[in-house]
């Protein structure tokens, strides 16, 4: 299985970079992982709804260019399903058994995802009704994918 995480913006803090590196290393024995960073747009502090939509659309176009037509897309969105770790593991396993060879997880920027990206998504995933920094979300997502593979392989992992 190939898993690509597409995210808006770069990680600036070293501790996030180290965590991403660690989970990427751990995941290498289970899947082929890649992380694609697309450029984020600068947004004014008091941006209008029109300006916000334009920013999300520009970032969304960059995201969509990174997705192959045959890929299965899971958008991280606050209105998505909130599975527990076992349910997420089963879903990833089911996709693989069903012939999906490439899953894209998409993390938007600070304003979220464009409507076009959400329409392209095959599923929406939410980790909480709370909002998290998108850089931290990358680490949380990687940890949950790693946990999913541990569960799939009946390997111990702390609860």
131 appears as a binding residue in the annotation: yes
Decide if pLDDT at 43 tops 90: no
Q: What is the pLDDT of residue 119?
A: 98
Can you identify the CATH homologous superfamily of domain 2-153?
SPOUT methyltransferase, trefoil knot domain (3.40.1280.10)
- 50 annotated binding-site participant: no
Question: Is 111 assigned a ligand-binding role in the annotation?
Answer: no
Domain coordinates in residue numbering, the chain: 2-153
Q: Find out whether 15 is annotated in a ligand binding site.
A: no
On the question of pLDDT at 58 being above 90, the answer is yes
Sequence-distant (6+) residues with CB within 8 A of 154 are none
CA distances from 38 to 17, 59, 64 (A): 16, 7, 10
The owner of tokens 């690509």 is 4
Check pLDDT > 90 for residue 158: no
Q: Kindly report the pTM of this predicted structure.
A: 0.94
């Amino acid at each position: 299985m190939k898993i690509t995480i597409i995210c808006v913006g770069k990680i600036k803090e070293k501790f996030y970079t180290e965590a991403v590196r660690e989970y990427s290393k751990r995941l290498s024995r289970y899947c082929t992982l890649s992380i694609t960073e697309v450029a984020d747009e600068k947004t004014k502090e008091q941006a209008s709804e029109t300006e916000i939509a334009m920013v999300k659309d520009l970032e969304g176009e960059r995201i969509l260019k990174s997705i192959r037509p045959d890929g299965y897309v899971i958008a991280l969105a606050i209105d998505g399903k909130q599975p527990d770790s076992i349910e997420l593991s089963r879903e990833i396993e089911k996709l693989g058994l069903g012939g999906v060879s490439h899953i894209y997880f998409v993390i938007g920027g600070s304003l979220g995802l464009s409507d076009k990206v959400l329409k392209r998504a095959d599923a929406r995933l939410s980790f909480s009704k709370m909002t998290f920094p998108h850089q931290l979300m990358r680490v949380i997502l990687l940890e949950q994918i790693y946990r999913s593979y541990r569960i799939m392989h009946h390997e111990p992992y702390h609860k």
